[in-house]
Chain A
């Protein structure tokens, strides 16, 4: 395989892992092992390798430390997830793009679950032969589902490079870049701001900041690598 394709394959595979990680962070109510895995030394090292000295990492490390912060135990993180993403109330942040990005100036006409925006996104998934699992947490425009879709595209792109079908890989990359630019990027920033406004969960604030940071960078990367790859193109951040 061409060295350039190899690099792009490695990068897409890596991207898929990061998208998959964040998808799993947001897609559902955290189980008992979530906190343990998230705060494990290996995870922190991995995040450190990815995000360098990002201040959100300190928040996570601090929350993981003994007695530090209100997020600092498995039960608390479940309650925080419930209050943020599941239960109506003062801390509720709808994790759905079509709801959170609704234009309130239009009288909230789009602020409905599974509205037009969600159906448009579902059609994008279907065009790639996918559909989300049924259920309230897995509507097509749920942040976790959109991230999973990105994971899928990146993984398929990597596989296409590995299979010697670079044109197909490029198509998938372009689809990923388009989806990121048109949907996920702005949505994730609005979500992060909304989580921050609640002041409820240092952990989810930090995770959302890491997510937006990654997406900012990835958006730039897609832009910088648009078109046929050049020899030695840097396909990552830093």
Chain B
């Protein structure tokens, strides 16, 4: 560089106006363009606008669908619906005028147009003509399908098969083990995704009309069930929390990427934009640099499965720096908390735990606490002692908060940081920031934190962070209720139809016994336990109140705790979607172990391809439903899903139609004339849904009805708007959210602490805790890191969801061909360049999966990441034979690879992935793998 001072000054000053930009340091705050997310006026005109609810993912966003000549031409957001607009339009807006307003729709929602018209959809009932899984089928009529499924016979030339009529017996499965229940339990229903309105309908069919306890073993345990279970063990009957984003100042997200997934992604992303514009601090703890991390103030690339250690480290720092809201924790009851500091909730921090029985010390049902060293009822004092360790009647009792501090102090912040693979300063900084915003800071978490063997413990530990700053139900804090919904199945004073009451199911039967996956069942209550003690043959899951999806197929294969005679799946893809799912095929391939397998599906899914019969069902744009939304939405919301066009393929049926047909042909109670009680027939799906919509229209309280002189008019009012939606202005009430949770929060869970694991015989832990990865026998999972140096993770890209989005050419078109993300440093060490073909394999799956390397710095070293939704081997990507001819296929649907096949099998069970013994979650993030260039 050769110049003079004079020239330098001259040249430099001349550059001052060149390449003007906004700069990259915060010195001023202008309105950012990403806040203005409302789409431009829509140029697409249509003769009809129908409002329904999306099922591109499970966010349940309202859709406004434009239909021209009976064809869907455009999908946008329903402006009445709070998921898709900030604020959503007033509910009394004229529907015609509302059509001029657009809500947003994400890529997945817009692309559902393509899955509706997917040419690879199934169009007629199919019956296998070769062995299960041979890919050979013949078309049959619905009548033949119903007749054979109901009555059974030698259906495949392989011997007699019981039909549904024969299976519906109320004799015991095993008189020696009567707790298993009646033979009717040998019918098992496994929907993949099933939502409100529909799930109550099928529950009624299977549980109340047929009589099986195996009524709805849906997918939740491969999603995030330990998140729900963990939260449920922290609250009184609440299982989902979310930050009040619009008023928070600081949000610490663990294991979730709200700009790509979570519920509802659109609303969370939009609200987070406002949050950031206000100067809110978002921090993302995740081994992968997600879209959300890209928008965060800080990204903390933690080691998988160690979130609880991070949280415990934060707790330690907060305790040592006087950042815990001890006043809140010292309130022992509702009145004390409200009058003492305006809290709507109170904690169990002052309750005393008996160290002999692990139970709360009580006088009758009332917990006892210490007040100035005196034992008193928790209901009678306004404050109680937090740090108690004493003896009462010869029994050592310790207060919950004292137990928590002892637990937290077991490790230093540096030791917690070492477990997490982060710097201690990272933990200290978040502890400092989290505890510097009063009640306007919040910890949130989702799937990434809980789909581990320690998932429920992690969920409880993260949630307790919120309790330590007393933020529950406050504006800007942790929301445990949300706006919720009007009760479509009735039961509230304003609802006209309480459809779960016996009078709505004349002839209702009582299903009872043990579930095939042992969820909500206690091993200690069984004949097997009395004979054999611990361990059980397979795990039992007394706290997994949803179900344990990945455990169903291996249980069928093992015929444990009893054989299943008929499996009915609906829109379900166990093999593709479960960790190590490819190993599950053997469990259902053998007709001797599973005599009858019926799949109800929209396409030839990987799992449906193993069925005996496939009954083709409708797309959600041809369906009904009353889906709910997550507590992200603070106003009451009842979406209504309805058909927007005539069925694209005429010989398909709604799920409800199929079960009404079966119910009528079997003579089950509760169908046909007066099926829903006197004067209420059940011949069509609308016969059911019109009652549900009427309940929504009338509302939960008397006088809460929508406008309309008659029930029909009220129903129409809701239908035209795609549901019922509370006004946006009603989200808050004073310093709280309007529909706030008003109950206790539990740092210690007595129920959990006093139940033993069915395999180890050990008590579960009632406190926040970090626990390393373990197998079902409680042994550490030690896969040799020198052979398998990487952990494998999955995630949902913003343009994909579950198995089904691969059928959209638009979505696959924006999906990179490079599908295995690996850290740049790791890649360099292995000689892998971006785009190179590579193989990822594990101890459980030596063959591994193959894909193309995506070399990036956005993944923590030692981690490889494969996004979900790719790598189908069926789903229309491969031809099968129908009536002796090959079906059409689209290989692009099967592009890429999936991480699930290489996930680790439990070393003891060897036929199912690692599992959380409490919540029942399948482990997606605890598998070590190796990577090689091929």
Contact check, A116 vs B1: say whether CB atoms are below 8 A apart: no
A contact residues around B27 at 8 Å (CB): 130
Shortest CB–CB separation between residue B558 and chain A, in angstroms?
43
B818 sits at the interface (CB 8 A):
yes
Shortest CB–CB separation between residue B826 and chain A, in angstroms?
6
Shortest CB–CB separation between residue B731 and chain A, in angstroms?
26
Total A-B contacts with CB atoms under 8 angstroms apart: 200
Distance, CA A138 to CA B299, complexed state (A) = 13
B contact residues around A48 at 8 Å (CB): 11
Contact check, B13 vs A17: say whether CB atoms are below 8 A apart: yes
Contact check, B9 vs A46: say whether CB atoms are below 8 A apart: no
B25 sits at the interface (CB 8 A):
yes
A59 sits at the interface (CB 8 A):
no
Q: B10 — nearest CB in chain A belongs to which residue?
A: A49
Distance, CA A234 to CA B919, complexed state (A) = 72
Q: List residues 126-160 of chain A with CB under 8 A from any CB of chain B.
A: 130-138, 142, 144-145, 148-149, 152
Shortest CB–CB separation between residue B278 and chain A, in angstroms?
13
Mask of A26-66 contacts with B, CB within 8 angstroms, 1/0: 01100000100110101101111111111000000000000
Distance, CA A114 to CA B860, complexed state (A) = 10
A contact residues around B25 at 8 Å (CB): 125, 130-133, 145, 148-149, 152
Q: List residues 52-111 of chain A with CB under 8 A from any CB of chain B.
A: 52-54, 88-90, 92, 94, 96, 99, 102, 104, 107-111
Distance, CA A116 to CA B297, complexed state (A) = 15
Q: List residues 833-867 of chain B with CB under 8 A from any CB of chain A.
A: 833-835, 854-861
CB contact under 8 A between A111 and B1, given known A14-B12, A43-B18, A45-B14 = no
A contact residues around B834 at 8 Å (CB): 88-90, 92
Shortest CB–CB separation between residue B829 and chain A, in angstroms?
6
CB contact under 8 A between A104 and B828, given known A88-B855, A112-B861, A113-B299 = yes
B contact residues around A53 at 8 Å (CB): 2
A174 sits at the interface (CB 8 A):
no
Contact check, B5 vs A135: say whether CB atoms are below 8 A apart: no
Distance, CA A175 to CA B903, complexed state (A) = 50
- Which of B10, B14, B24, B857 touches A94 (beta carbons < 8 Å)? B857
Shortest CB–CB separation between residue B818 and chain A, in angstroms?
7
Contact check, A112 vs B3: say whether CB atoms are below 8 A apart: no
A1 sits at the interface (CB 8 A):
no
Distance, CA A47 to CA B4, complexed state (A) = 13
A-side interface residues, number (CB < 8 Å): 75
Contact check, A108 vs B825: say whether CB atoms are below 8 A apart: yes
Shortest CB–CB separation between residue A224 and chain B, in angstroms?
13
Interface residue stretch chosen among A165-173, A180-188, A211-219: A211-219
Shortest CB–CB separation between residue A188 and chain B, in angstroms?
13
A236 sits at the interface (CB 8 A):
yes
Q: A40 — nearest CB in chain B belongs to which residue?
A: B18
Shortest CB–CB separation between residue B207 and chain A, in angstroms?
49
B contact residues around A13 at 8 Å (CB): 12-13
Contact check, A10 vs B9: say whether CB atoms are below 8 A apart: yes
Q: List residues 417-431 of chain B with CB under 8 A from any CB of chain A.
A: 423, 425-426
Mask of B271-296 contacts with A, CB within 8 angstroms, 1/0: 00000100000100000010001111
Shortest CB–CB separation between residue B290 and chain A, in angstroms?
11
Contact check, B11 vs A50: say whether CB atoms are below 8 A apart: yes
B contact residues around A237 at 8 Å (CB): 1-3, 5, 8
- Which of B19, B282, B297 touches A21 (beta carbons < 8 Å)? B19
Specify the main secondary structure of chain B where it touches its partner.
Answer: mixed
B7 sits at the interface (CB 8 A):
yes
A4 sits at the interface (CB 8 A):
no
Shortest CB–CB separation between residue B402 and chain A, in angstroms?
35
A176 sits at the interface (CB 8 A):
no
Shortest CB–CB separation between residue B234 and chain A, in angstroms?
31
Shortest CB–CB separation between residue B2 and chain A, in angstroms?
4
CB contact under 8 A between A112 and B12, given known A133-B24, A135-B295 = no
Shortest CB–CB separation between residue B782 and chain A, in angstroms?
22
Distance, CA A90 to CA B855, complexed state (A) = 10
A206 sits at the interface (CB 8 A):
no
B-side interface residues, number (CB < 8 Å): 56
Contact check, A111 vs B824: say whether CB atoms are below 8 A apart: yes
Distance, CA A96 to CA B4, complexed state (A) = 32
Shortest CB–CB separation between residue A13 and chain B, in angstroms?
8
B contact residues around A92 at 8 Å (CB): 834, 855
B contact residues around A102 at 8 Å (CB): 825
Distance, CA A102 to CA B835, complexed state (A) = 22
B contact residues around A96 at 8 Å (CB): 857
B contact residues around A11 at 8 Å (CB): 5, 8-9
Distance, CA A165 to CA B70, complexed state (A) = 76
A24 sits at the interface (CB 8 A):
yes
Contact check, A21 vs B823: say whether CB atoms are below 8 A apart: no
Contact check, A18 vs B19: say whether CB atoms are below 8 A apart: no
Contact check, B3 vs A148: say whether CB atoms are below 8 A apart: no
B contact residues around A10 at 8 Å (CB): 9
Contact check, A112 vs B19: say whether CB atoms are below 8 A apart: no
B374 sits at the interface (CB 8 A):
no
Distance, CA A112 to CA B21, complexed state (A) = 28
Q: A54 — nearest CB in chain B belongs to which residue?
A: B1
Distance, CA A34 to CA B293, complexed state (A) = 28
Distance, CA A145 to CA B23, complexed state (A) = 9
Instruction: Pick from A114, A144, A152 the residue with the most CB of B within 10 Å.
Output: A114
Contact check, A134 vs B1: say whether CB atoms are below 8 A apart: no
A23 sits at the interface (CB 8 A):
yes
Q: A16 — nearest CB in chain B belongs to which residue?
A: B12
B15 sits at the interface (CB 8 A):
yes
B16 sits at the interface (CB 8 A):
yes
A contact residues around B21 at 8 Å (CB): 24, 27-28
Q: B821 — nearest CB in chain A belongs to which residue?
A: A88
Contact check, A132 vs B3: say whether CB atoms are below 8 A apart: no
- Which of A15, A94, A111, A134 touches B296 (beta carbons < 8 Å)? A134
B contact residues around A195 at 8 Å (CB): none
A contact residues around B19 at 8 Å (CB): 21, 24-25, 34, 37-38
A202 sits at the interface (CB 8 A):
no
- Which of A46, A138, A238 touches B5 (beta carbons < 8 Å)? A238
Distance, CA A111 to CA B855, complexed state (A) = 11
Contact check, A37 vs B18: say whether CB atoms are below 8 A apart: yes
Contact check, B3 vs A51: say whether CB atoms are below 8 A apart: yes
Shortest CB–CB separation between residue B814 and chain A, in angstroms?
14
B contact residues around A137 at 8 Å (CB): 24
B298 sits at the interface (CB 8 A):
yes
CB contact under 8 A between A49 and B14, given known A14-B9, A135-B295, A237-B3 = yes
Contact check, A134 vs B9: say whether CB atoms are below 8 A apart: no
Contact check, A49 vs B3: say whether CB atoms are below 8 A apart: yes
Contact check, B823 vs A108: say whether CB atoms are below 8 A apart: yes
Contact check, A134 vs B295: say whether CB atoms are below 8 A apart: yes
Instruction: Pick from B301, B423, B835, B856 the residue with the most CB of A within 10 Å.
Output: B856
Instruction: Pick from A14, A49, A133, A142 the residue with the most CB of B within 10 Å.
Output: A49
B contact residues around A20 at 8 Å (CB): 15-16
A162 sits at the interface (CB 8 A):
no
A235 sits at the interface (CB 8 A):
yes
Shortest CB–CB separation between residue B458 and chain A, in angstroms?
23
Distance, CA A51 to CA B10, complexed state (A) = 12
Q: What are 25 of the A-B contact pairs (CB < 8 Å)?
A: A21-B19, A28-B24, A34-B19, A46-B11, A49-B8, A54-B2, A108-B825, A108-B829, A109-B861, A111-B824, A112-B860, A113-B299, A114-B289, A119-B298, A119-B425, A119-B426, A130-B26, A132-B25, A134-B296, A137-B24, A148-B23, A149-B25, A152-B25, A237-B3, A237-B5
Give me 7 other A-B pairs in contact (C-beta within 8 A), A49-B3, A88-B855, A108-B823 excluded.
A14-B12, A38-B18, A40-B18, A50-B7, A111-B861, A114-B298, A132-B26
- What are the 4 tightest A-B residue pairs by CB atom distance, in nearest-first order? A108-B825, A49-B11, A111-B825, A14-B12
